[in-house]
């Protein structure tokens, strides 16, 4: 199994939620349906931000705060 890197642009949302389940709360706070979505294995943070019209830089900061 490859080691996961939060900053990897190819990191799928499924991998993200598996490695850092606490991050689902950020998605849910933004009323995003990504946790549990059947497309999560194929979408990245960038894809989700595009779909929900969110500022990716700000969203990533919110997620990064949970890494500390």
Domain ranges, residue 47? 13-64
Q: Which two tokens stand for residue 55?
A: 């500022």
Domain assignment present for residue 7? The answer is no
7 touches 68 (CB < 8 A): no
Please, what is the average pLDDT of the chain?
A: 94
Q: Which two tokens stand for residue 57?
A: 């830089």
Domain assignment present for residue 6? The answer is no
Domain assignment present for residue 38? The answer is yes
The pTM (predicted TM-score) of the whole model is 0.90
Domain assignment present for residue 8? The answer is no
Flag residues of the chain having pLDDT under 50: none
- What is the widest separation between alpha-carbon atoms in the chain? 32
């Amino acid at each position: 199994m490859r080691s996961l890197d939060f900053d990897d642009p190819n990191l799928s949302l499924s991998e993200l939620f598996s490695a850092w389940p606490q991050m689902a709360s950020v998605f849910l706070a933004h009323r995003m349906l990504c946790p549990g979505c059947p497309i999560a294995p194929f979408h990245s943070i960038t894809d989700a931000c595009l779909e929900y019209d969110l500022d990716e830089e700000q969203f990533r900061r919110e997620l990064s705060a949970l890494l500390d």
